[in-house]
Structure formats: structure tokens, C-alpha cells
């Protein structure tokens, strides 16, 4: 994000919702759309060959970032489609005559919850809710018991998009493998921020979203472990070995590939700097705003996540007042605008005051120290004026 672009704009602190596209990513996409615009399935000429080569290169970058093989990757329109494909596709292909049981964390993204509920409504699956504590941490003993009781699919998000908790995916994958349970991990918030080892961690299906790692919107991937078969959601043309028909979104794929290549090189350093700014912001806010509570698991959360509650002050009152100066949110992008408290905060059992006063702040690699200080000033002055 250039400084020009930021001029006279609210300070962007909503990186969980979406990240700005890295200019280097946008440049690759622009070149792909203009100079090398071919269809990757056109096998009869140079334009098609060039597009296919670009896709083949991108798949290597994605696979390399997450420790998977390039053969395991299916391109999709984003994490929502990847999750739908994994859940519907797995249940359709792998159920016998008994009703399949799907275990999920109550803090999963709506893409997982609503997909499972759609199956449950059609009486095609039963949903089992796993237990979390008041910080949203998973109860591993309970998870193991549920796996041992016999389930068709386990869904655990790698990091939550509201409170930012990072879940112990390696450990959970081992449990899933021990009980031979297929395991879907929604890694949208984690890919490019925290190292992932798909091959080692016992994950069966991994969902990726381009726009959470400084890549474009409308592109993502589903990574599928060897030996697992899914029923496709989309038919026509037989692209991607029939798993997801439709002309490949070559510029999007190239953008996702480039974003992954850059994250592999820059992730560790960037995330360290982001965590420093987040910690600084947290300290300053605690100092400036009496009664402020930090939600979620502060021992294991995304570097850029700061989820706070200011009990007694509704988040809507704060957001309305800072709207022209700060881009922060009351919750997940898909749920904001809806007046009910988020399902994530309800799962934690927070008090109604804590839920009503909840604010999600998301810091990213383009956030400056100056913006952090400015945001703290704006927030504390606003809260002081309301009180």
C-alpha cells in the first residue's frame, strides 16, 4: 500500500477481513492479464502454453509455502468454496448407510458452520459441537473422545478470524490420524503468517484464501491428501481432473502464487514486526482506557490480532464515531451489520456487556507505528467523550 494511497483515508486496521494486495502481486497479475492473457487449457498455441506455465509455477509456490505436493492442490474461488467442496464432497463420497457425524469447533467461520448446517437440514449429516473454554481454546481431551466415538469428518480452524486464537493443528491432526478421521483445517487466516506443514500434520483437507495474505480476492485453493476422493461441486469441462470445472482464473492464481512466494521469504520478519506493533497498541490502549479487556487466547494468537471489549460502551457507538478515521470492526466481515453478537463471542460465554463492547483490530505488514499511536489516540479520545 503506497503512502499516497493512504492519504486522507481512515487508518486501515481490519486485516482479518482482507489484506491490501501487495504491489508486487498486483504487478504480476497485471502482466498476466495484459501480455499473457491465454487460457491455460488452450493446448494448441503459445498463449495457452504461457498461461499453463504460469499456473504450473504458481502451484509450486503455494505447495512450497504449506509443505504440500503440487499434485494435491485444487484451485477454487476462495476459502468458502474450498470448505464447501471439502465438506459436501467428502460426505457425498464417503458415507455409508449410517448418518455421517461432523465434529466442528463452535468458533469456526460461517463457511464451515453454514455448510454443515445445510447438510444437517437435509438430514445428510449430524453436527457435533466440540468444547472450547472462555478464551476459545479447544479442549483436546473432549476432541479426542469425540474422534474415538466415530465421526466422518473433523473441522478445526487453524486460527479464528475474530479473536485470533491459533489452534494446535499438528496435535489435532495426530489425534485425527490415530482414529482415522478425515480432518478439514480452514487455514485462511494462517497461511503466510504461521508456518504450516501439510505433509506432516495429518491434515486431510486444507482451505486457503488469496485475500488474507496480500493476494487477490476471489481465488483460493483446497489441498487434498493423497488417497482421499471428493465428489465435485462444479461440473463442466473436466478441468482440474474433474474436481473443479471452469476456466482457470490465471491472473488470480498467479497473484496467489506470487503472494505465497513472497510470504515464504518475508513471513517470519513481517510477523515479528506486526506482533511488536500489536503489543505496543495493546499496552497503550490498556493504559489509556480503564476497564478494557483483551479477549481470546493471548498466549497463542495471530500476530496482528487484538480483540478487545470496552464493557459498558456498545461497539456500534464507537464505530459510528471513528468511522471516517479508523477502519476497525465489531466482528467478522460477513456478520457485521447484523445486530446480534457473534457466534464466536457467544461460544466463549462472554458477558453481554463484553460482547456488546467488542472490537476487532487487525494489524498487518503495511501498518506503521505512527498509525498505531494515532489509532490509540482516536480510540481513547472517542471512548472518553462517550463516557
Residues designated as active site:
334
Tell me the CA distances in angstroms from 104 to 24, 138, 143, 155, 373, one per residue in order.
37, 11, 9, 5, 38
Distance, CA of 196 to CA of 66 (rounded, Å): 5
Distance, CA of 30 to CA of 37 (rounded, Å): 10
CB 83 within 8 A of CB 186: yes
| Backbone dihedral region for residue 255 (phi beyond 0: left; psi -120 to 50: alpha; all else: beta) | alpha
CB of 191 to ligand PLP, least distance (A): 11
Closer CB to ligand PLP, residue 73 or residue 292? 73
Closer CB to ligand PLP, residue 109 or residue 244? 109
Closer CB to ligand PLP, residue 110 or residue 321? 110
Angle between helix axes 369-386 and 315-322 (nearest 10 degrees) is: 120
Distance, CA of 230 to CA of 250 (rounded, Å): 23
Closest residue to ligand PLP: CB criterion: 78
Strands 182-186 and 153-157: parallel
* Helix, strand or coil, per DSSP, at residue 217: coil
CB of 6 to ligand PLP, least distance (A): 23
* Helix, strand or coil, per DSSP, at residue 247: coil
Distance, CA of 215 to CA of 253 (rounded, Å): 9
CB of 115 to ligand PLP, least distance (A): 11
Question: Residues in the site for ligand PLP, rule: CB under 6 A?
Answer: 78-80, 109, 111, 157, 161, 186, 188-189, 209, 220, 333
Distance, CA of 273 to CA of 183 (rounded, Å): 32
CB 130 within 8 A of CB 157: no
CB of 335 to ligand PLP, least distance (A): 10
CB of 290 to ligand PLP, least distance (A): 31
CB of 251 to ligand PLP, least distance (A): 16
CB of 381 to ligand PLP, least distance (A): 30
CB 244 within 8 A of CB 84: no
Closer CB to ligand PLP, residue 113 or residue 289? 113
What DSSP state is assigned to residue 179?
Answer: T
CB 47 within 8 A of CB 28: no
Strands 358-362 and 305-309: antiparallel
Closer CB to ligand PLP, residue 79 or residue 91? 79
* Helix, strand or coil, per DSSP, at residue 229: coil
Closer CB to ligand PLP, residue 78 or residue 136? 78
Strands 182-186 and 205-209: parallel
Name the residue with cell 491428501: 225
Closer CB to ligand PLP, residue 78 or residue 202? 78
Amino acid at each position: 500500500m503506497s503512502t499516497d494511497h493512504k492519504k486522507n483515508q481512515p487508518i486501515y486496521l481490519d486485516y482479518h477481513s482482507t489484506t491490501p494486495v501487495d504491489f508486487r502481486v498486483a504487478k504480476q497479475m497485471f502482466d498476466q492479464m495484459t501480455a499473457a492473457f491465454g487460457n491455460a487449457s488452450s493446448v494448441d498455441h503459445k498463449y495457452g502454453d504461457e498461461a499453463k506455465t504460469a499456473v504450473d509455477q504458481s502451484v509450486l509456490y503455494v505447495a512450497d509455502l504449506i509443505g504440500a505436493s503440487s499434485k494435491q492442490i485444487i484451485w477454487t474461488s476462495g476459502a468458502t468454496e474450498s470448505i464447501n467442496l471439502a465438506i459436501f464432497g467428502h460426505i457425498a463420497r464417503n458415507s455409508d448407510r449410517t448418518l455421517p457425524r461432523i465434529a466442528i469447533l463452535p468458533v469456526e467461520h460461517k463457511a464451515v458452520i453454514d455448510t454443515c448446517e445445510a447438510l444437517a437440514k437435509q438430514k445428510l449429516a449430524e453436527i457435533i459441537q466440540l468444547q472450547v473454554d472462555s478464551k476459545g481454546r479447544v479442549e483436546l481431551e473432549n476432541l479426542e473422545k469425540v474422534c474415538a466415538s466415530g465421526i466422518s469428518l473433523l473441522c478445526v480452524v487453524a486460527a479464528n478470524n475474530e479473536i485470533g486464537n491459533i489452534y494446535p493443528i499438528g496435535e489435532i491432526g495426530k489425534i485425527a490420524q490415530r482414529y482415522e478421521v478425515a480432518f478439514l483445517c480452514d487455514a485462511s487466516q494462517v497461511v503466510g503468517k504461521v508456518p504450516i506443514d501439510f505433509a506432516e500434520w495429518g491434515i486431510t483437507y486444507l482451505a486457503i484464501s488469496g485475500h488474507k495474505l496480500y493476494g487477490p480476492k476471489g481465488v483460493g485453493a483446497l489441498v487434498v491428501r493423497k488417497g482421499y476422493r471428493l465428489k465435485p461441486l462444479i461440473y463442466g469441462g473436466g478441468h482440474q481432473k474433474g474436481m473443479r470445472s471452469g476456466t482457470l482464473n490465471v491472473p488470480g492464481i498467479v497473484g496467489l502464487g506470487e503472494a505465497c512466494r513472497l510470504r515464504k521469504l518475508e513471513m517470519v520478519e513481517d510477523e515479528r514486526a506486526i506482533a511488536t506493533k500489536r503489543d505496543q497498541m495493546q499496552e497503550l490502549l490498556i493504559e489509556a482506557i480503564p476497564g478494557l479487556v483483551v479477549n481470546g487466547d493471548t498466549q497463542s494468537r495471530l500476530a496482528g490480532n487484538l480483540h478487545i471489549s470496552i464493557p459498558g460502551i456498545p461497539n456500534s457507538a464507537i464505530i459510528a464515531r471513528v468511522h471516517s478515521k479508523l477502519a476497525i470492526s465489531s466482528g467478522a466481515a460477513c456478520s457485521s451489520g447484523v445486530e446480534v453478537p457473534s457466534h464466536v463471542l457467544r461460544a466463549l460465554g462472554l458477558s453481554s456487556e463484553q460482547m456488546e463492547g467488542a472490537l476487532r483490530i487487525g494489524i498487518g505488514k503495511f501498518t506503521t507505528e505512527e498509525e498505531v499511536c494515532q489509532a490509540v489516540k482516536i480510540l481513547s479520545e472517542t471512548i472518553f467523550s462517550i463516557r
